[in-house]
């Protein structure tokens, strides 16, 4: 079984990369001025977004496991918040992919609003803990927040937001320098 650091490194790059794929496919699907749920680009994009959100959940659990000593309770709450947000996203995406699912089990409106907020706050907290542990630079949570803001302002900003999230999470994909005997840390 891969170590937590390997899981974090994988998810930190692949989650925003899949989000970028979704954003680009969304743009391709909209070239004809209509976003059609039957189009291949629409379906593939939603599947990429679903996978991205699963990987964001994996990332949250991995970050929880490598949280600094003494930060366990905060990291646990932050991971739970992130996972709650991920679950809300997955529910909505599943409903988009399956109208029968959406009709049978629609996500209540308050959860549609709370989900993205919980996701963002949970991830920002986890990234803040990584900064405190010197496993990420101070700008990482700031960049993540900027990506969320870009997405919140306009969903058509999705490719840009995904690139910002990729930049924010890229430092987590670097090998653990302490284990390799290197001493450089983020300040």
What is the Cα–Cα distance from 131 to 186, expressed in whole angstroms? 8
Nearest by Cα to 51 from 17, 96, 98, 102: 17
Q: Do the beta carbons of residue 172 and residue 186 sit within 8 Å? A: no
What is the Cα–Cα distance from 172 to 143, expressed in whole angstroms? 13
List the domain boundaries for the chain.
Answer: 4-172
What is the Cα–Cα distance from 96 to 180, expressed in whole angstroms? 45
* Confidence label for 121 from pLDDT (cuts 50, 70 and 90): very high
Give per-residue pLDDT as tens, 27-71: 988 777 777 777 888 899 999 999 999 999 999 999 999 998 899
Assess whether pLDDT exceeds 70 at residue 185: no
Q: Determine which of 1-5, 34-38, 125-129, 147-151 has the lowest per-residue pLDDT on average.
A: 1-5
Assess whether pLDDT exceeds 60 at residue 156: yes
pTM of the model: 0.89
Quickly count: other Cβ atoms within 10 Å of residue 115's Cβ.
Answer: 20
What is the Cα–Cα distance from 174 to 185, expressed in whole angstroms? 12
Give per-residue pLDDT as tens, 79-92: 999 999 999 999 99
Q: Determine which of 1-15, 36-50, 51-65, 171-185 has the lowest per-residue pLDDT on average.
A: 171-185
Alpha helix positions (H), 30-66: 40-65
């Amino acid at each position: 079984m891969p170590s937590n650091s390997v899981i974090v490194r994988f998810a930190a790059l692949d989650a925003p990369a899949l989000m970028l794929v979704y954003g680009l496919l969304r743009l391709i699907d909209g070239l004809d001025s209509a976003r059609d749920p039957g189009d291949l680009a629409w379906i593939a994009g939603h599947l990429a977004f679903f996978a991205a959100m699963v990987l964001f959940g994996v990332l949250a659990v991995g970050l929880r496991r490598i949280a600094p000593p003494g930060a366990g309770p905060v990291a646990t709450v932050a991971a739970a918040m992130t996972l709650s947000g991920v679950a809300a996203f997955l529910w909505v995406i599943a409903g988009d992919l399956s109208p029968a699912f959406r009709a049978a089990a629609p996500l209540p409106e308050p959860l549609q609003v709370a989900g993205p907020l919980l996701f963002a706050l949970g991830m920002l907290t986890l990234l803040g803990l990584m900064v405190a542990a010197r496993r990420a630079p101070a700008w990482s949570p700031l960049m993540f927040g900027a990506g969320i803001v870009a997405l919140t302002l306009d969903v058509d900003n999705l490719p840009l937001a995904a690139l910002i999230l990729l930049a924010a999470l890229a430092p987590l994909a670097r090998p653990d320098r302490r284990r390799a005997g290197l001493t450089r840390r983020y300040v």
